Amino acid sequence: GDSVTQMEGPVTLSEEAFLTINCTYTATGYPSLFWYVQYPGEGLQLLLKATKADDKGSNKGFEATYRKETTSFHLEKGSVQVSDSAVYFCALIPGGFKTIFGAGTRLFVKA
Amino acid sequence: DVKVTQSSRYLVKRTGEKVFLECVQDMDHENMFWYRQDPGLGLRLIYFSYDVKMKEKGDIPEGYSVSREKKERFSLILESASTNQTSMYLCASSLTGANEKLFFGSGTQLSVL
């Protein structure tokens, strides 16, 4: 069935370090891909999305490129801040409106 | 500001109790969802609804039911709470088009003792 696999955390970085969180997926057809972020004590909110192959989603300095050949959607940011500390979820919609989530990756950024 | 509001942030219940979790959205969204979030498992879909009085089972519906009598309100019911239902419950809503993003509430942390 459709699924999302993302790297286990926690990931601990120093401020201004480069961030990569890996995400791969299994789905038939052409899913839409998403990254959601959950700050402490809050629900999830959309960070970025991409709906077709080679699309790049971007927001708040974060980027991810839809790679169909490797079935991946890795999240990157060139310089993280303490305020980026959160849990990041990779997700897909295989078709329709049901969203499937990965397990989440917790990021800690130290000052 | 658009909002999805969950009635309780924390809830403590006893085994065997009937539990109601309420969710209200003010965005006139057609679709509403209930997920549970557990460490290492991410979010798992319990039930969803694409219209008033309509409901569909998600991936883990056992032990739960839902009610959607009005478009803006979607309730999750634990018929007889058990300790393995201790979890964070997240409500979400979306527009009816394909591939629409989800808007989430802040969650209800339920503890069943």
pLDDT at B5: 95
Asked if A51 reaches chain B (Cβ–Cβ under 8 Å), the answer is yes
pLDDT at B1: 64
List the one residue out of B36, B56, B58, B55 whose CA is nearest residue B108: B36
Q: Is the pLDDT of residue A15 over 90?
A: yes
Would you place residue A28 in the very low, low, confident or very high pLDDT band (cuts 50, 70, 90)? confident
Of B14-28, B31-45, B73-87, B91-105, minimum mean pLDDT range: B91-105
Mean pLDDT for all residues in chain B: 93
Asked if A40 reaches chain B (Cβ–Cβ under 8 Å), the answer is no
Q: Is the pLDDT of residue A80 over 90?
A: yes
List the one residue out of B102, B99, B97, B98 whose CA is nearest residue B43: B102
Would you place residue A29 in the very low, low, confident or very high pLDDT band (cuts 50, 70, 90)? confident
Locate the chain B residue with the closest alpha carbon to A51. Answer: B99
A102 vs B contacts (CB less than 8 Å): 42
As a whole number, mean pLDDT of residues B26-36 equals: 94
User: What proportion of chain B, given as a percentage, has pLDDT over 90?
Assistant: 82
As a whole number, mean pLDDT of residues B49-75 equals: 94
Locate the chain B residue with the closest alpha carbon to A44. Answer: B104
Mean pLDDT for all residues in chain A: 94
CA A93 to chain centre: 14
Distance from CA of B104 to the nearest CA of A (A): 5
- Angstrom CA distances, A82 to A40, A87, B32, stand at 13, 13, 33
As a whole number, mean pLDDT of residues A89-111 equals: 92
Q: Give the model confidence (pLDDT) of B66-113 as tens digits.
A: 999 999 999 999 999 999 999 999 999 998 876 788 999 999 999 999
- Measured from the Cβ of residue B38, the count of other Cβ atoms closer than 10 Å reads 12
User: Is B41 in Cβ contact with A97 (below 8 Å)?
Assistant: no
